[in-house]
Amino acid sequence: MSQNRGNARRFVRQGGRGGGGCGRRGKDGEAADDATGPLLDKNNPIIQCFRQYALELDAKHDRYERIVKCSRDITIESKRIIFLLHTIDPRKNNEAKVCEEAKNRLEALFRNQFFGIAKELQGKDAYQYARAYTNGMQEFIEAYTFYQYSSGQDISDWQAIQRRLSYDQLPDPTRAESSLPSDQNECEPAHECKNDEQGTAMVCLQPLDFVLGLGDLSGEVMRKCINTLGSGQVDSCFIHCRFLQDLYRGFVSVSSARSREFSHKMSTLRQSLLKSEKVCYNVTVRGSEAAKWGSSEDGFASFLHHQSSKDTEAAGGDDDEGVFF
């Protein structure tokens, strides 16, 4: 018995030495054979198999970690792009410039980080690693749709984004940056389902991720709604609010998403919606200037003051509310 255990321990130590010790292990096994008899021969297959399994598991874990890293980069860059898009200010008239820059940075994400993930996923089951990049993907969807929203385009659906995430061929990473112009992404939809074929790689965009990303977008639109109020653009408040209402209607229409995250997103969306609806309400009732004070807590006192002073001149006050519309 004690001999058996000794052998087991020897194998353990060899395992620690790594793959290089493979040839030597066989020798040790034979040498030990003399002492314990033919029993040991049977053990070799187990160890050999497990060496194989170890390689496979390691490869899988490494790939997962690499994808997580890409996903983090995507998250960071997406957050920055969103921040950039919030700097759009009609008073500075910088919309075109900011949108252009955001567009370029989004393109760079498609070219670099997502391309990196696509390369890792080539010939693999994308769903196996979906958890590794779901966060980055949601953040990216948020940035991308927010860019489209801010620049006045229609929000694209996930099929359109999925097409852009499919890469026809995989050239060297060194050539990747120059050889993937945007028009090349207009590949026919047939490529979508053939992801595991040689030469086509894609990052799988799960519709759920897309919708969750849209949920995040609501928060940004709400911020934009409040910001535009600050800059005195009252009409766009109502436009943003309308968009949030549409979005909320969409979320309500979803019957069963099988996801806890989804219901969580929905309650956040509802809060954003209520906030921007209140803004619109305030604008309507009090006129845009008053609403600006009312939307922040510490401005409330001065708003009251303003309100009371307005009441005193109520007779002439009717037309000054209309001015701001």
Residues that bind other proteins (CB under 8 A): 1-5, 7-9, 11-12, 15, 39, 42-43, 45-47, 49-51, 53-54, 56-58, 60-61, 123-128, 130, 149, 154-155, 157-159, 193, 195-196, 207, 210-211, 214, 242-243, 246-247, 249-251, 253-257
Taking the C-alpha atoms of residue 303 and residue 281, their distance in angstroms, rounded to an integer, is 15
Q: Which one, 110 or 243, has the nearer CB to other proteins?
A: 243
Q: Which one, 116 or 215, has the nearer CB to other proteins?
A: 215
| Site of tokens 């600006």 | 292
Output the smallest distance, CB 129 to other proteins, in A.
8
Are the CB atoms for 120 and 59 separated by under 8 Å? no
The helix (run of H) or strand (run of E) holding residue 167 is strand 166-167
Output the smallest distance, CB 240 to other proteins, in A.
10
Q: Which one, 37 or 90, has the nearer CB to other proteins?
A: 37
Output the smallest distance, CB 93 to other proteins, in A.
23
Output the smallest distance, CB 269 to other proteins, in A.
12
Contacts of 137 (CB under 8 A, 6+ apart): 71, 74, 203, 205, 206, 209, 213
Length, in residues, of the chain: 325
Q: Which one, 127 or 300, has the nearer CB to other proteins?
A: 127
The amino acid occupying position 116 is G
Check residue 153 and report its DSSP letter.
P
Q: Which one, 56 or 320, has the nearer CB to other proteins?
A: 56
Taking the C-alpha atoms of residue 72 and residue 137, their distance in angstroms, rounded to an integer, is 10
DSSP 60-113: HHHHHHHHHHHHHHHHHHHHHHHHHHHT--TTTT-HHHHHHHHHHHHHHHHHTH
Listed in sequence order, the DSSP H helices in the chain are 2-17, 22-36, 43-86, 95-111, 113-121, 130-150, 158-164, 173-179, 190-193, 207-230, 234-253, 260-286, 288-294, 299-312, 314-322
- What are the backbone dihedrals phi and psi of residue 205, each rounded to the nearest 5 degrees, phi first? -95, 115
Q: Which one, 102 or 241, has the nearer CB to other proteins?
A: 241
Output the smallest distance, CB 132 to other proteins, in A.
12
Q: Which one, 49 or 285, has the nearer CB to other proteins?
A: 49
Output the smallest distance, CB 324 to other proteins, in A.
25
Output the smallest distance, CB 107 to other proteins, in A.
22
